[in-house]
Structure 1
Amino acid sequence: MGLVEFEIARWDWKTLRCGCGKNGLHLADELLALARAEREGDSGFDVSSGHVMLPSVLMEPSLPVVSVALAAVADQTSAVARHQFLEALLFILSADSQTWELENEGRDLLEECRIAALPGIWLLHREVYLGPAVGAPSLAFECLTLLDDNVDRLERVRADPHAQLAPHVRNAEL
C-alpha cells in the first residue's frame, strides 16, 4: 500500500477544484479507502460521481487520480480496488472535454492526463498478462489502446493467447 499512500501525499489536494464545489481534500481520503478496499462497496469513490469527472468531462482532480491509479496498479491492492482504479483510468483517458474554467486558463487537461499516464504503459501491459482481477486485464488493454501509439505491439498483445482479454476486447477494432 506504500505506493498509493506516497502518490496521494505527493499532491496538494486542498488546492484542487473538485466537481462538487469543495476543494479536493476529501478525494485523497476516498482514494486511500479505495486502495484499502477488499470488497465491492468498501469505499465511496466513484470516478463518474462528479468529483473527478462527469460523463466525458474532466474536472481538475482527474490529473492526480491518473497518478494514484497507476500507483495502485503497481502496488499490492486487492482485485476489487485494482479493477476500480483501472476503470477510473479508462474513464479519464476516454474523456472528450474538460471544464470551461480549465479551458479559460489555457489548460489541456485531457493531454495532461494522457502524458501523466504514459509512464505506466508497461504496468498496463503487465496487467494484461498477469492481472489478478476479473476484467482488469481487459480494462488495462483498453487503456493501452488510448495511450500506446505502437499499433503493431497492441495487435500482437491482442492476438497473444496468454493475454487475459475478454472476447469482446480481443475481437474489437483498434
Structure 2
Amino acid sequence: MDFRMCIACSKRYTSPRLKETRVEYRRVMLEKYPDAKDWRHIKFSDACHFGWGPQGRVHVIRRAWERHCPDCMPAEKDQKRLHCWAAVGYDFKSQLVWYDIPGNSNGKMTMQVYRDHILEPVVGGWLREGQSFVLEEDNDSSHGTSKSNIVRAWKEQSSLESFFNCAQSPDFSPIEKAWQGPKQYVKKRPCLGR
C-alpha cells in the first residue's frame, strides 16, 4: 500500500481532495465576506502548547502522497506542557490565557475547559463589553464541532457568532504563525530541560 514509517516532520503537501475542500471553503468565505474590510471584525483564535522535559523522537506513518524522507527532523515528545489560548484580529490582540487540563496527559483541550476557562471569562467578557465580532476557531472537537454539546449551547445562549476554519488548513488563520516566535524562544532556554 506504499505506507512508510519515518520520523515526524512537518507536512508540506496536501491531498487532491483537501485541495478541493480548501478551494470550496475559500469560495464560500469570500462570498460571505467579499471585501477586505469585511474581515476586520473577525477574531482568529488558537491554542498553543509549550513543552519541556525529556525529548524523544516521534515516528509516524505517512501515506503514499505525503512527503517522506530519511532525514526528517525529529519532532519533540514533550513530557510536560503549558497550555495557552489567544486571539488576534484587525487592530486587536488578546491577552494570553493560560489554562490547565486536569487528568489529561495528551494535552487535548476538553469542551468543559474551553467553555469554563476561555469562552465564559474571556470571550463572554468581550460580548458583555458590547464588542461586535465573529470568532474563528479551528476544527478541534473541544470547540463544539458536533451538533449538540455544552460549547455549542454556550455559544447559542451567548449569541456568539463563530465559524470553523477549513480542516487541516492552519495557513488560513493568521494567528497560527504568531506562535512560532515564542516557541523558538522557549526552545533556546537551557533551563527548560534541554
| TM-score of the aligned structures, taking structure 2 as reference length | 0.26
Bigger Cα Rg = 2
In proportion to residue count, which structure has more strand?
Answer: 2
- The structure whose RCO (Cα within 8 Å, separation 6+) is larger is 2
In proportion to residue count, which structure has more helix?
Answer: 1
| TM-score of the aligned structures, taking structure 1 as reference length | 0.28
